[in-house]
Amino acid sequence: MDGATTAPDVIEGEASASVERPLARVPLVLNKRNFSWITERISGVIEANAPRWWWVAFAITSMVAMFGLFCLGYQISTGVGTWGLNHPVGWAWDITNFVFWIGIGHAGTLISAILFLLRQKWRTSINRAAEAMTLFAVICAAIFPGVHVGRVWMAWYLAPLPNNYGIWPNFRSPLLWDVFAVSTYFSVSVLFWYTGLIPDLATLRDRATTKIKKFLYGIFAVGWRGSNRNWRHYEMAYLLLAGLSTPLVLSVHSVVSFDFATSIIPTWHTTIFPPYFVAGAIFGGFAMVLTLLIPARAIYKLQDIITPQHIDKMAKVILLTGSIVGYAYAMEFFVAWYSGNQYEKFAFYNRIFGPYWWYWWVGMLFCNTVSPQLFWFKRFRQNIYVVYFVCMCVNTGMWFERFIIIVGGLHRDFLPSSWGMFYPTWVDIWTFIGTFGIFTSLFLLFIRYLPMIAMSEVKIVLPEANPHHASPAEHHTVAAGGKERT
């Protein structure tokens, strides 16, 4: 009886799906690509020999990374004095870079976790690369707080281990919360990324030609067979990890903002910091995702998978978060005026007209607030050059924003006698450039050895994966019938 009632629904649905509808959604994968095309195209990137540009790029980025590591070694062996930090600016590029990198990571988690829970199918084309970007950004971020403590071999003090000293870390310090927030974030992100990789690793294992590839992909595919049971467990694990990651998107950068918000420095002591920082993180992160994926899709001819629709949606996220950030900037000025607190007022006056004035005019105002407003217009969202330009503006602007918040808050102390400026040393500069080397080297290795697009997930959003999808032959007849009727 049940069968009788449901059967007509299915047929009806199938028929209506095949009729051309004026409001049909633009497909997520263009040009009617099928399962095998996706497997071939994405696995092909890994299975083909590395192109020459890859070697050139990797040589450059790894050299930059090595020099960055040398700078870190020099800084650790000589002391924090190799950085330009001094009174009154005790935090400068180190924490700026930390907040910058950790912020970038947030886009990956938002795409992979929140958009997954919200059933945003377009995420499947970009989530793998965005999550990888998250991990590499968190690695770059973790370097700075780890090293800026000076005696890095004492960094274990941050861990609440029972010890001979009979003391614990200061649990009331937001700097300690930061350690927990970032380490939790990294571990959950690694788990989430790796779980998502398992079916694709199995695909690569099955296609592998050399023994060593079979062995390595085989180990990491942990015996995946694609069975019903495998898929059920996988999907539950993925859902749970998405649930675990979702609060992290919001909590990690909130905790980072507490480093400042719980202090008493004017421009730091601000209650809007947590949402402001989270919006800024997603803003900067999406810009970095686009910065990496726009060239990658062009080089590897992935335009059918990462379509203009994807870029358009990411541009809209940038517009939204950029406007939230712009609102937060404005609100800071309003509160400084409305509070009547002379220190707060001075600090914000100093932000616009003080010695670091152009950081604000260029970084915060032009790059972060004005440039994303271009994305109100579809024409600009569809123009890859405009999109790339805005992303570069946002990448730059978000670094400047953190610098203005940190150094801008510190360089004008309460007492004019304690005023000072920050001048970066070559070690400061090259450590920062070095983290770009580390980041890009890791990303290049990632696109070389792992599928940069989640093959199994993209296949799920193809029409072929829909249980109601008609085979091409059937499709043809039904469509023809539909036309006759009209």
Partner 1 sequence: MANFFPRWSNWLPLKISICGTFIVCGLTAGTWYYITPKYTRVGYQPIQPVPFPHDLHVSQLGMDCRYCHSFVDVAAASNLPNTQTCMACHTQVQKDNPKLEPVRASWKTGQPIEWVQLHRTPDYVYYDHSAHVNRGISCANCHGPVNHMPVVYHAKPHSMAWCLECHRHPENFLRPETQITNLDWKPEQENVASFVAKYGQPADAKDDWSKKQKLTQREIGQTLKERWNIQPPLNCQGCHR
Cβ of residue 35: shortest distance to partner 1, in angstroms?
18
**Segment interacting with partner 1 (CB under 8 A) among 6-14, 211-219, 280-288, 372-380:** 211-219
- How near is the Cβ of 221 to partner 1 at its closest, in Å? 10
For partner 1, the binding residue among 218, 284, 322, 451 (CB under 8 A) is: 218
Alpha-helical (H) ranges within 92-227 are 93-109, 115-117, 127-148, 174-207, 211-220
Q: Is 166 in the site for partner 1 (CB under 8 A)?
A: yes
CA neighbours within 13 Å on the CB side: how many for 47?
Answer: 17
Long-range CB contacts (< 8 A, 24+ apart) of 33-40? 33/304, 33/305, 33/462, 34/462, 34/464, 35/459, 35/462, 35/464, 38/305, 38/455, 38/458, 38/459, 38/462, 39/203, 39/207, 39/455
312 binds partner 1 (CB under 8 A): no
Q: Is 165 in the site for partner 1 (CB under 8 A)?
A: yes
Residue 172 near partner 1 by CB under 8 A:
no
Closer by beta carbon to partner 1, 162 or else 340? 162
Number of residues that bind partner 1 (CB under 8 A): 12
CA torsion angle for 183, 189, 191, 194 (degrees, to 10)?
-140
User: Is residue 163 close enough to count as binding partner 1 by CB under 8 A?
Assistant: yes
| Minimum gap (Å) between residue 163 Cβ and partner 1 | 7
The verdict on 170 binding partner 1 (CB under 8 A) reads no
Quick one: which segment of 50-58, 104-112, 164-172, 228-236 binds partner 1 (CB under 8 A)? Answer: 164-172
Kindly tell me which of 40 and 474 has the beta carbon lying closer to partner 1: 40
Instruction: Verify binding: residue 209, partner 1, rule CB under 8 A.
Output: no
| Alpha carbon 92 to chain centroid, angstroms | 23
Among 1, 24, 118, 167, binds partner 1 (CB under 8 A): 167
Q: Judged by CB under 8 A, does residue 206 bind partner 1? A: yes
User: Which residue is listed with tokens 């990462």?
Assistant: 306
- CA distances, 167 to each of 157, 161, 348 (Å): 10, 9, 40
> Residue 90: which of 347, 422, 401 has the closest Cα?
422
CB of 226 to partner 1, least distance (A): 11
The dihedral sign for the CA sequence 73, 79, 82, 84: positive
Task: Write down the least CB distance from residue 169 to partner 1, Å.
Answer: 13
Instruction: Give least dist CB 192 to partner 1, A.
Output: 20
Alpha-carbon distance of 29 to 433, in angstroms, equals 36
Q: Is 164 in the site for partner 1 (CB under 8 A)?
A: yes
Residues of the shown chain interacting with partner 1 in the complex, contacts defined by CB under 8 A: 162-167, 206, 211, 214-215, 218, 223
